[in-house]
Chain A
Amino acid sequence: MSFLEVKNIDVYYGDVQVIFDLSLEIAEGEVVSIIGGNGAGKSTLLKTISGLMHPAKGEIFFEDTAIQTAPPEKIVECGIVQVPEGRRLFTLMSVKDNLIVGAYNSRADQYANTTIEDVYTLLPRLQERESQLAMTLSGGEQQMVAIGRGLMAKPKLLMLDEPSLGLAPILIKDIFQTVRKIADQGTTVLLVEQDVIHSLRLSDRGYVLEHGRIAMEGPAKDLLNDPHIKTAYLGL
């Protein structure tokens, strides 16, 4: 039984096809990176898995249940949670209220009080700032809130869409360390990134997405040493 299995999906925006016959697989407990340039279809892929978009063709299985037509709230109930690109906080709500919204689904709701303690242990900065409006936080702190908010939903599979976007290098390190800790605690992580070195270093496996197709896949270490990736993504 596979954990997440995406099988031959096609995804369109209106008439424009963005993802072509894409398949991938993630096992439980893995950290998997999807790397690729702008417009490769990385965010679209995540949106399709989380149910914000639906594939025109193909299937998506999560723990052997077909979810390609399910609405996003059902998919969150199953345990797939997406932390969207650009953080998308509820800026006029306090940090704590942002986290509470994360625990909407019935699976997470009953544990909200204990989950919030876990999130505060992982991200102590949020506890210090819990009564501040989200808009008053720095970029790094906002990303922490976005990740914490996703964890509040008690994900089995956490999908992070460019968590390093727009952050200073030192903060990027923090964010990736946090992701590592989350994975070490047993959550499967699907990471979409442009920061190829950092994301591959903490991943078990990686997929390279180009023009809506999987161009390469393999263990993260092999990808890091691959000459094509070195020239195309690392500029070495």
Chain B
Amino acid sequence: MTRQNINRFALILVGVVAFGLPLVLRSPTYLHILILLYLYAYLTSSWNLVGGFAGVLPLGHSAFIGIGAYASTILSLQYGISPWIGMIVGGILAAIVGILIGFPTFKMRGAYFALATIAFGEGIRVMVENVDNLGPLKINGPRGLQIPPTNIGFGNYMFAGKEPYYYIILVMLLGILAITYFISRSKLGYYLNAGGEEPEAAMALGVNVARAKLIAMAMSSFFTALAGTFYAQFTLYIHPKSVISLDFSFEIAFIALIGGRGSIAGPVLGALLLRPVSDFSRIYFGSTLPGLHLIIFGTVLILVMIFQPRGLQEPLTRAYNRLLDKIFGGTEQKEITHEYS
């Protein structure tokens, strides 16, 4: 068996395990934890299109989660439109807002860009919190919107058990991973990378860096908003603090930075490592030390940034390759690991 086959085999094995897990794991608590894990891996992969490939640090992605959640919920509550359609509407809306936010902010560098996106995210939250009705649309301010679980069924994106949600978010996650994989190997991926590292050199070659970034931002916002609809249908209750909170934006960035931004595996790895910390610290220390997980995240982030500035995916990829080298005697041509592109 060649190395390539081993890699494929490992991927298929992971896929089979992921799809089979609900058959073995009956506890709704653990399924819930896994669903959130996949949700965060999905969100971080969407974020990665901008935050990873384009080399900027957006910290306002919760705005797009909120747009997706509110768009599909309002459409289904007030107009009886299926959340599946609402999900696409929310995605398109988020893409438009993403472009509008990206247009002025992509001219900024580093921390200024991050701060500007925080401001946009928080601005949208404050607006939603203070508006009860937007024209004919009932937003309900800080009280949020509740989705009555009356019409259970696939068409209504509403299920009694956790398993359907598990499979939906799993498929979404696999989809976004495939998309990021193809983008990272496409010309758009090269242009984003080039513009992120050496914007002036890329521009001197005629690369339209701003346009590449805006395309990435539109895609990233679109996919992020899809997760917003998922979140709304999963929890059946949304309010500004739950779907447009800075916590979301920060946790996505934490996961990306610790896992390895700009790589395909990084977001999944980061979610695998951090989500259990977050959930179990809430289960066991939720009453005594609320927010403990953020302290742990911060500490881990500092350590990772000092010792593995490109995230944990790099040493793990290296270790994995070395393991394969040992098994196969390192006979195959060695290539420098190239996860970043």
Contact = CB atoms under 8 A, between A and B. Distances in A.
Interface of A: 50, 52, 72-73, 75-77, 81-84, 88-94, 97-98, 100-102, 104-105, 131-133, 136, 149-150, 152-153
B190 A101 contact: yes
Contacts of B203: 52, 72-73
A98 B194 CA distance: 8
Nearest to B203: A72
Contacts of A81: 204-206
Given A104-B191, A131-B335, A133-B336, A93 B204 contact: no
A93 to B, nearest CB: 6
A136 B336 contact: yes
Contacts of B340: 92
B205 A94 contact: no
B191 A101 contact: yes
A93 B341 contact: yes
Contacts, number: 77
B335 A73 contact: no
A101 B205 contact: yes
A104 B201 CA distance: 12
Interface in B251-286: none
Interface of B: 187, 190-191, 193-194, 197-198, 200-208, 335-336, 338, 340-341
Contacts of A84: 200-201, 204
B261 to A, nearest CB: 12
Q: Which of B197, B202, B205 has the most CB of A within 10 A?
A: B205
A73 B206 contact: yes
Given A84-B200, A97-B341, A92 B193 contact: yes
Q: Which 6 A-B pairs have the closest CB atoms?
A: A76-B206, A88-B201, A105-B206, A82-B204, A88-B198, A72-B203
B206 A133 contact: no
B29 to A, nearest CB: 41
A59 B197 CA distance: 31
Contact of A93 (B193, B200, B207): B193
A134 to B, nearest CB: 10
Contacts of B341: 92-94, 97
Contact of B336 (A82, A89, A97, A132): A132
A92 B336 CA distance: 11
A77 B206 contact: yes
A160 B194 CA distance: 19
A88 B207 contact: no
B204 A50 contact: yes
A50 B203 CA distance: 9
B338 A133 contact: yes
Contacts of A133: 336, 338
A76 B205 contact: yes
Nearest to A105: B206
Contacts of B335: 131
Contacts of B194: 90, 93, 98, 101
A97 B202 CA distance: 13
Contacts of B191: 101, 104
Nearest to B196: A90
Nearest to B207: A104
Given A104-B191, A133-B336, A133-B338, A89 B206 contact: no
Nearest to B187: A100
A102 B197 contact: no
Contact of B207 (A52, A73, A92): A73
27 contacts: A50-B204, A52-B200, A52-B203, A72-B203, A73-B206, A73-B208, A76-B204, A76-B205, A76-B206, A77-B206, A84-B201, A84-B204, A88-B200, A88-B201, A89-B198, A90-B190, A90-B193, A92-B197, A92-B341, A93-B341, A94-B341, A101-B187, A101-B207, A104-B191, A104-B206, A150-B205, A153-B205
Contacts of B193: 90, 92-93
A98 B190 CA distance: 8
A98 B187 CA distance: 11
Contacts of A52: 200, 203-204
A90 B53 CA distance: 13
A190 to B, nearest CB: 13
Contacts of B197: 90-92
Contacts of A150: 205
Nearest to B197: A90
